[in-house]
């Protein structure tokens, strides 16, 4: 027997999972049945306000350009202006509706965030990968007492979860809870690794 075969036989069997039996498909919780919490009611209002100001300003500038500069007939100008106003109202409405879909769930082993109007996005961040939690607050958010929670995972330079629209008190409690859970999970994981190495 050569050295390579001897080393291979002495290695532990890494195919065996040491943390319990895997769950069957019928035991898994469907994503549609997750109990999630919606963010603060002021967040959709803030998004509606910001989108209303921004897109109304853009639509006004475009309409003025069409009305005074473009060499079109009066009818064509009116139709184009009406179309632009309808598009602006539609975008503002969709921005508000999308803000209503933002929700999150704090579970035993992970934080989950879901958002999206037509394309739903669900992000799960296990506490074992959670490295840092940050709270940020812009000037408009400050007026509504809102905070954005940013969760950074291991090996990631950008926040893996950006959870906007949290009440300031709720966000601080959530930050402390997530940091505690991350420390607990990483500590227990370290103990398991140490025990397996000792054995």
Average pLDDT over residues 96-110: 91
pLDDT tens for each residue of 53-90: 999 999 999 999 888 887 888 888 899 999 999 999 99
User: How far apart, in Å, are the Cα atoms of 63 and each of 25, 50, 51, 97, 102?
Assistant: 56, 20, 18, 26, 33
| Per-residue pLDDT at 198 exceeds 70 | no
* Domains contained in the chain, number: 2
Please identify, among 100, 128, 156, the residue that sits at the C-terminal boundary of a domain.
100
CB-based contacts of 91, cutoff 8 Å, min separation 6: 51, 55
Rounded distance, CA 50 to CA 29, Å?
37
For residue 3, tell me if it sits in a domain.
Answer: no
Q: Say whether both 74 and 117 belong to one domain.
A: no
Residue 184: predicted pLDDT: 79
Summarize the confidence of residues 170-185 as an average pLDDT.
Answer: 87
Residues 110 and 187 in one domain: yes
Question: Is residue 29 one of the residues assigned to a domain?
Answer: no
Q: Specify whether 90 is located in the same domain as 109.
A: no
Query: Chain-wide mean pLDDT for the chain?
Result: 81
Same domain, 109 and 82: no
CA distances from 195 to 57, 129, 158, 174 (A): 63, 20, 33, 31
Q: Which of 45, 79, 100 is the last residue of a domain?
A: 100
Residues 155 and 95 in one domain: no
Asked whether residue 27 is assigned to any structural domain, the reply reads no
For residue 143, tell me if it sits in a domain. Answer: yes
Distance in angstroms between the alpha carbons of the first and the last residue of the chain: 26
Query: Under DSSP, is residue 134 helix (H, G, I), strand (E, B) or coil?
Result: strand
What gap in Å lies between CA 52 and CA 60, rounded to an integer? 12
Regarding pTM above 0.75, the answer is no
Mean pLDDT of 156-162: 76
Look at residue 31 and tell me if it is in a domain. Answer: no
Q: How confident is the model at residue 146, as a pLDDT?
A: 94
- Give residue 153's domain range: 104-198
Model pLDDT for residues 128-156, shown as the tens digit of each residue: 888 888 999 999 999 889 999 999 887 66
Rg of the chain over Cα atoms, rounded to whole angstroms, equals 26
| Per-residue tokens: 12 | 């532990």
The answer to whether residues 75 and 49 belong to one domain is: yes
Assess whether pLDDT exceeds 60 at residue 197: no
Question: Same structural domain for residues 123 and 46?
Answer: no
Domain boundary residue among 100, 135, 155?
100
The residues, ordered by sequence, that sit 6+ positions from 179 with a Cβ below 8 Å of its Cβ are 130, 133
Does residue 127 share a domain with residue 57? Answer: no
* pLDDT bucket at 51, cuts 50 / 70 / 90: very high
Residues 88, 174 within the same domain: no
- Say whether both 76 and 162 belong to one domain: no
Give Cβ neighbours of residue 165 (< 8 Å, ≥ 6 apart): 39, 40, 42, 43, 44, 46, 99, 102, 146, 148
């Amino acid at each position: 027997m050569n050295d390579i075969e001897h080393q291979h036989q002495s290695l532990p069997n890494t195919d065996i999972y040491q943390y319990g039996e895997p769950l069957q498909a019928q035991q898994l919780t469907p994503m549609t049945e997750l109990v999630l919490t919606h963010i603060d009611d002021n967040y959709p209002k803030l998004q509606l306000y910001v989108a209303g100001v921004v897109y109304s300003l853009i639509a006004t500038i475009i309409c003025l350009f069409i009305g005074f500069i473009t060499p079109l007939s009066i009818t064509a100008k009116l139709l184009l202006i009406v179309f632009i106003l309808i598009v602006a109202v539609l975008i503002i409405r969709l921005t508000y509706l999308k803000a209503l879909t933002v929700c999150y769930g704090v579970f035993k082993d992970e934080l989950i965030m879901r958002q999206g109007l037509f394309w739903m996005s669900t992000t799960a961040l296990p506490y074992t990968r959670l490295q840092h939690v940050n709270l940020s607050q812009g000037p408009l958010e400050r007026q509504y007492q809102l905070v954005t929670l940013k969760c950074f995972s291991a090996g990631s330079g950008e926040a893996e979860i950006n959870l906007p629209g949290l009440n300031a008190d709720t966000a601080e409690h959530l930050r402390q809870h997530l940091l505690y859970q991350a420390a607990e999970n990483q500590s227990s994981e370290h103990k398991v690794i140490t025990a397996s190495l000792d054995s």
